[in-house]
A = this chain, B = another copy of it.
Amino acid sequence: MSDIDKILHHCLYFTANSLARAISRMAEEAFRPTGLSPSHAFLMMLVNDTPGIGQKALCDQLHLAPSTVTRFIDTLVYRGYLERRSEGKTSRVYATTAGAELQEPIAEAWKGLHERYAEILGRAAGDDLTARIDAASEKLNQT
């Protein structure tokens, strides 16, 4: 490894993005049977868990920008999985019947993804890494 390689592999920006791309590839595959992208699937999980959840809450939980959440919901409404009910300036989100039916396949896919990377990284190591990444991400997000 040359000097420059060392810089890259010692840079959190570089390694974090590299990991994100790798795990995203895996996640897209795992969630393919649901017909949703992983992010859309997580949004569906949240709505199925808390019917009537507001968009702001979705942003906070998913750590996504409001505009991003608007478009995700647009897409999922268009595809018949969600319903948006405006209440004044806020709007609440509910799953349709079709959306509720996704709950099982999504849970399966999520489990499959977890197992898949646990196989490669080791279950304990993978979970530990996830916890550390989560902690770091929370710290950085506060700034």
Contact = CB atoms under 8 A, between A and B. Distances in A.
Nearest to A20: B20
Given A13-B113, A18-B133, 6 more contacts: A12-B114, A15-B133, A15-B137, A18-B137, A19-B136, A117-B140
Interface string A6-25: 01111111111111111110
A117 B132 CA distance: 15
A45 to B, nearest CB: 6
Contact of A4 (B49, B113, B127): B49
A22 B137 contact: yes
A129 interface: yes
Interface string A58-89: 00011100000000000000000000000000
A79 B21 CA distance: 27
Contact of A22 (B23, B45, B129, B141): B141
